[in-house]
Amino acid sequence: MERIPVLKMGELLMVTIQVDMHDRLARTLLEDLTEAISAHGIHGVLIDISALDVVDSFIGRTLSTIASTAQVLGAETVVTGMQPAVAITLVELGLSMPGIRTALNAERGMAALRAALGGRSERADGSGSGHDA
């Protein structure tokens, strides 16, 4: 079965969505991700959606749910690389993901994640804020 890979990098999880999302794929990702977070004691999750250029209401909601669920499980979540068209669609759908971190690209997202985890993780080097170029 087709899956979106969830990569573990130390105490961070990284998910990059590189294919067209369809409904079942989105549900599977939600399950895999929540499973991985609770199994490995993950503190931070980075979801890169820069390759996603079309969303419908279901995918939009699932994305929002994935981010919120990760947040609820105690992992700092950052969604990166959202395309303008996707951002507009999500806002029009009323899914503006309050409380979820966002970043322009994966690099900045990672920096933001490190900064956010700097306080509670010994290994994080706290390399600047998410807005530093």
Residue 87, interface with another protein (CB under 8 A)? yes
Are 23 and 55 contacting, i.e. CB atoms less than 8 angstroms apart? no
Is 31 an interacting residue with respect to another protein (CB under 8 A)?
Answer: no
Our finding on whether 129 is near another protein (CB under 8 A) is yes
The answer to the question of residue 90 lying near another protein (CB under 8 A) is yes
Among 2, 39, 84, 122, binds another protein (CB under 8 A): 84
Select from 80, 114, 115, 117 the one that contacts another protein (CB under 8 A). Answer: 80
> For residue 63, what are the contacts with CB-CB under 8 A and spacing of at least 6?
26, 47, 49, 55, 79, 90, 95, 97
Of the candidate spans 14-22, 30-38, 96-104, 113-121, the one that interacts with another protein by CB under 8 A turns out to be 96-104
CB of 109 to another protein, least distance (A): 7
Q: Which of 44/81 has CB closer to another protein? A: 81
Beta-bridge partner residues of 80: 48, 103
Rounded CA-CA distance 40/45 in Å is 12
35 CB burial (10 A radius; 0-12, 13-18, 19+)? exposed
